[in-house]
Structure 1
Amino acid sequence: MKTARRSTHHTVDIIRLALPIWIGQLAAIANPVLDTAMVSRYSVTDLGALAVGASVYISVYVALNGVMQSLAPTFGQLYGAGKFSEMGKEARQGVWLAIFLSLAGSGLLCFPQPLLAIADASPEVTEKATYYLRILAFSLPASLNFLVYNTLNNAMARPKMVMAIQVTGLLLKIPLNTLFIFGGMGIPEFGGPGCALATFVIVWLELTIGWLILRFNPFYKILHLFGNGITGPHWKSLKALFGLGIPIGLNYFIEVTSFTFMALFIARLGVNAVAGHQIVANFSGVLYMLPLSLASATGTLVAQSIGARQPDRARDISSSGIRLSAILAIIVAVTVWLAKDRIIRLYTASAIVAANASPLFLFLCSLLFFDAIQVTSSYVLRAYKVVLAPTLLYVLTLWCIGLGCGYTFAFGLVPSLIPSRITGSSGFWFSNCISLVILSVGMSILLRRTEKQAWKHIEQTPDKTP
């Protein structure tokens, strides 16, 4: 009975923290959703360019975002231990981390030809995708620096202001997209690349607001963020953040490229095929925000418990978060399947594009349960700072099985063994479902082993909290 009450209490805590994170993430993911919906009404060519360009950008951004996520368990454990000044020092180093990553990422986005060559798209699509990516290269520094503010607030269980900023950005996205895509007020129409211009304006505004809050809100004085002037790079701290963040970044990169590389390969099947895939992949990103927010909240609370040297509480929170995420995934899958035709109509009026998108919803609904389990387990493992083994699991499942077998199915490389139902775009989605089943099982086993070892590790590590 006591265990049931404790589980319910942890579930409520997870929901309370996850709800504003979810709303903020929905607002963030709604930006590319709006891009897709609005560009699809401009031209199919621009939609194809957006699909290819967005695939490249997301691959780069998510990998760098993953490295920035090394701040999450660091902040969470320090907050649980009550080491607020140390949090402030790590936040300042997080800014340097964002700057260094921005230099590398912006360089890739300014010269994306090697990545665009994978799609083997038409010259017009490639030209517009390149323009789109070069605009986003100047948005990347703001996006990565905003993650410092975002991660810091989530670790301190204060995600509501982050949510408010992200919702404000979404409200600005609609008029700015309209202005830059279709033209008006003396501004020429840019088509697909207009989405990137709107994003540029919004992310720099969001960063400015976040900085002002950290600078002038009295709550953040406990962190001593601004008391010592400009702090230079502390290479030992940055080395630790990179050491933790690079495997996490690889996790992010592998997970996202299991979808984005699909778009690049599917582009070889034609504009209509990649446009249909883009709709389902885009909507999949919207759905993913729910288990992602639950995973983030669960990981935050687990990290705080580890910092407070409470492994039993960390394990209880982990179980509650995974169970909640899995149950909600089943509910969402059933709802989406029943409403799939209406969802497609919200994205496109093209019957051909709709016909390419419709069969993929079966695979989308099938993978939601397993995706929820693996992402929540992954975030909890990050809270324990266990990152290398999950990376190897991601490589084996999402790349080797998901993309490797998917390519074989999609292009019928072994025609005598491959049913026609899983060729073309469906081949990639079917293979991705299988990979997620295996990944969720592997992550669950790894998490249980990590939790069993947690108490022994804490007993052997002296408590240095003042």
Structure 2
Amino acid sequence: MTPAGFAASVRRIVPLAWPVFVGQLAVLGFSTVDTVLVARHSATDLAALAVGSAAYVTVFIGLMGVVLALSPIVGQLFGARKLAEAGAQLHQAVWLALGLSLLGSAVLLFPAPFLALSQASPEVASKVRGYLLALAFSLPASLLFTAFRGFNVAVSRPKAVMALQLGGLALKIPLSATLVVGAPGLGLPALGVEGCGIATLVAMWAQAIAAWILLRRDPFYASFGLRGHGLDRPHGPSLKALLKLGVPMGLSILIEVTGFSFMAIFIARLGETPVAGHQIAANLVALLFMMPLGLSNATGTLVAQRIGAADLHDARRLGWHGMQLTLLVALVMGGGVYLARGAVVRLYTDNPTVIAAALPLVAWVALFHAADAVQTVAAFVLRAWRIATVPLVIYAVALWGVGLGGGFMLAFDDGTRFPAAWRGAPGFWIAATAGLAVAAAGLSLFLLFVYRTKEREAHTAVAATD
């Protein structure tokens, strides 16, 4: 009998969530290390990192979302014990990742639209181009590793992913530290932000190669038809199913990320100091987000598996309990950062001007983080049911309309409609928080509608068999 109650659900969610959390911390460690190193190197390089990171994240996250359609599909197959079919889906996700990487790399190699939006100075634009050049060649490895990650999380094996992500970070840290400031004794010049891109390129390909070796040699993957097995040919129906779910998933994640990353691009118009302050606050929010992301991944995985096992009651229970747990953790973490915001910002920089720019933004973290946590877990649970189109509409209205559109109105107001304190970078953070709150409410209400619809369908099916 499946255990019931909130505590029982927590005991099932946490073992899957903590490896995802640690692994995602390692992923965020890439950008955190870069932010800290570059912030102490020069304000110009930090501004280039903010714009370049926003451009890369916009491209990578949207494509990553398409590849991650693999996860709910494999989760349901794993719950139904259709292991060979689950393994076959990974092969198709690899083909999908390779195809998408061609598109994404081309965009990164020609970043003129992002530079125009940010109105970057010629010096900053040059550094952005060098940074994105390296990331364009790292993108295929990142998307291939995304397929590996999505498969392993879906079959309740996130520790394998975590181990490789920690290994990638261990390689990234000394590479970035050396390349950013240079090593005169070795004849290496200081590359600044461009060194960060090169370090990421090396680390991501090392991760992807290690994942391929693990798939071919670890006995765990034998039952999925993966161990020592070559790559299957592209299968039209499977690729179509991945795209049917993955495209709205990818667009939803793209909206979510661009609603935030475009803040950096627009704030860059205000000058180097405001965008540097925003970069610190954005990195801090991203760091906090890893916990609800881990809990949401675990909740979505378990829900998908229970759907595959035809235990819809347990799937619903896990979804609600996962949301309650995630919100509770987010409130505690966000509140702690708010209380210690001064000390936290000083961990990033000792520049008093940048500190002054960052502190008003960090003050919004608690509310921002709580709303972000709820909308994330609701979205993951809906994806477990293979539902992504309606969430896409909710995201567009909430995050682009309320968040980004509202932020632009507040930030660039001429002082006639809104308080002066809302102008500039704080305006974007106020509107982004409101947008996330709207998204959290909309997705939660729609999830409730889905549950009630599934209950009616189940009752109708039972009545038809009587």
TM-score (norm 1): 0.96
- Give the C-alpha shift of residue 226 in structure 1: 5.3
1:405 and 2:406 correspond = yes
Query: Counterpart of 2:63 in structure 1: which amino acid?
Result: L
- Give the C-alpha shift of residue 187 in structure 1: 2.2
Q: Which structure 2 segments of 5+ residues have no match?
A: none
- Give the C-alpha shift of residue 165 in structure 1: 1.1
Which secondary structure state, in structure 2, belongs to the residue aligned with residue 11 of structure 1? helix
Give runs of aligned pairs for residues 445-464 of structure 1, distance below 5 A.
445-457=445-457
Maintained 8 Å contact 2:218/2:227: no
Maintained 8 Å contact 2:278/2:425: yes
Instruction: Give distance in 2, aligned partners of 1:43 and 1:402.
Output: 30
Query: Counterpart of 1:271 in structure 2: which amino acid?
Result: E
Maintained 8 Å contact 2:120/2:269: yes
1:257-312 per-residue CA deviation (whole Å, 9 max, x = no partner) reads 11110000000100000000000011110011111110000000000000000110
- Give the C-alpha shift of residue 369 in structure 1: 1.4
Instruction: Give distance in 1, aligned partners of 2:438 and 2:200.
Output: 36
Instruction: Give distance in 2, aligned partners of 1:409 and 1:172.
Output: 42
- Give the C-alpha shift of residue 455 in structure 1: 4.2
2:434 is matched with: 434
Which secondary structure state, in structure 1, belongs to the residue aligned with residue 117 of structure 2? coil
Give runs of aligned pairs for residues 17-416 of structure 1, distance below 5 A.
17-184=16-183, 185-225=186-226, 229-413=230-414, 415-416=415-416
CA gap 1:183/1:315 in 2 versus in 1, 3 angstroms: same
CA gap 1:230/1:378 in 2 versus in 1, 3 angstroms: closer
Query: Counterpart of 2:447 in structure 1: which amino acid?
Result: L
Query: Counterpart of 1:142 in structure 2: which amino acid?
Result: A
- Give the C-alpha shift of residue 180 in structure 1: 1.1
CA gap 1:60/1:459 in 2 versus in 1, 3 angstroms: farther
Instruction: Give distance in 1, aligned partners of 2:192 and 2:140.
Output: 24
Which secondary structure state, in structure 2, belongs to the residue aligned with residue 417 of structure 1? coil
Instruction: Give distance in 1, aligned partners of 2:2 and 2:152.
Output: 30
CA gap 1:461/1:303 in 2 versus in 1, 3 angstroms: farther
Instruction: Give distance in 2, aligned partners of 1:411 and 1:461.
Output: 56
Query: Counterpart of 2:86 in structure 1: which amino acid?
Result: M
1:424 is matched with: 424
Instruction: Give distance in 1, aligned partners of 2:161 and 2:408.
Output: 39
Maintained 8 Å contact 2:142/2:208: yes
Instruction: Give distance in 2, aligned partners of 1:3 and 1:168.
Output: 36
Instruction: Give distance in 1, aligned partners of 2:69 and 2:460.
Output: 24
Instruction: Give distance in 2, aligned partners of 1:262 and 1:180.
Output: 28
- Give the C-alpha shift of residue 416 in structure 1: 2.2
Instruction: Give distance in 1, aligned partners of 2:114 and 2:234.
Output: 31
1:16 is matched with: 15
Q: Which structure 1 segments of 5+ residues have no match?
A: none
1:422-453 per-residue CA deviation (whole Å, 9 max, x = no partner) reads 11000000011111111111111100111122
- Give the C-alpha shift of residue 456 in structure 1: 4.8
Instruction: Give distance in 1, aligned partners of 2:49 and 2:225.
Output: 42
Instruction: Give distance in 2, aligned partners of 1:55 and 1:210.
Output: 27
- Give the C-alpha shift of residue 227 in structure 1: 6.2
Instruction: Give distance in 2, aligned partners of 1:25 and 1:156.
Output: 18
- Give the C-alpha shift of residue 236 in structure 1: 1.6
Query: Counterpart of 1:102 in structure 2: which amino acid?
Result: S
CA gap 1:458/1:129 in 2 versus in 1, 3 angstroms: farther
Query: Counterpart of 1:453 in structure 2: which amino acid?
Result: T
1:225-244 per-residue CA deviation (whole Å, 9 max, x = no partner) reads 25663322112211111111
Instruction: Give distance in 2, aligned partners of 1:229 and 1:156.
Output: 21
Instruction: Give distance in 1, aligned partners of 2:9 and 2:418.
Output: 46
Q: How many residues align?
A: 460
Instruction: Give distance in 2, aligned partners of 1:30 and 1:331.
Output: 22
CA gap 1:265/1:125 in 2 versus in 1, 3 angstroms: same
- Give the C-alpha shift of residue 221 in structure 1: 0.3
Query: Counterpart of 1:408 in structure 2: which amino acid?
Result: M
- Give the C-alpha shift of residue 3 in structure 1: 11
- Give the C-alpha shift of residue 347 in structure 1: 0.7
CA gap 1:194/1:458 in 2 versus in 1, 3 angstroms: farther
1:203-228 per-residue CA deviation (whole Å, 9 max, x = no partner) reads 11111111111100111000112566
Instruction: Give distance in 2, aligned partners of 1:82 and 1:354.
Output: 53
Instruction: Give distance in 1, aligned partners of 2:98 and 2:141.
Output: 9
Q: Percent identity?
A: 43
Maintained 8 Å contact 2:219/2:227: no
- Give the C-alpha shift of residue 417 in structure 1: 2.0
Instruction: Give distance in 2, aligned partners of 1:452 and 1:243.
Output: 24
Maintained 8 Å contact 2:130/2:194: yes
Maintained 8 Å contact 2:278/2:357: yes
Query: Counterpart of 1:422 in structure 2: which amino acid?
Result: W
- Give the C-alpha shift of residue 7 in structure 1: 2.3
Maintained 8 Å contact 2:2/2:314: no
Query: Counterpart of 2:168 in structure 1: which amino acid?
Result: G
Which secondary structure state, in structure 2, belongs to the residue aligned with residue 378 of structure 1? helix
Instruction: Give distance in 2, aligned partners of 1:455 and 1:4.
Output: 20
1:382-432 per-residue CA deviation (whole Å, 9 max, x = no partner) reads 00011000000000010011011110100115x322001111000000011
Maintained 8 Å contact 1:309/1:458: no
- Give the C-alpha shift of residue 156 in structure 1: 0.9
TM-score (norm 2): 0.96
Which secondary structure state, in structure 2, belongs to the residue aligned with residue 187 of structure 1? coil
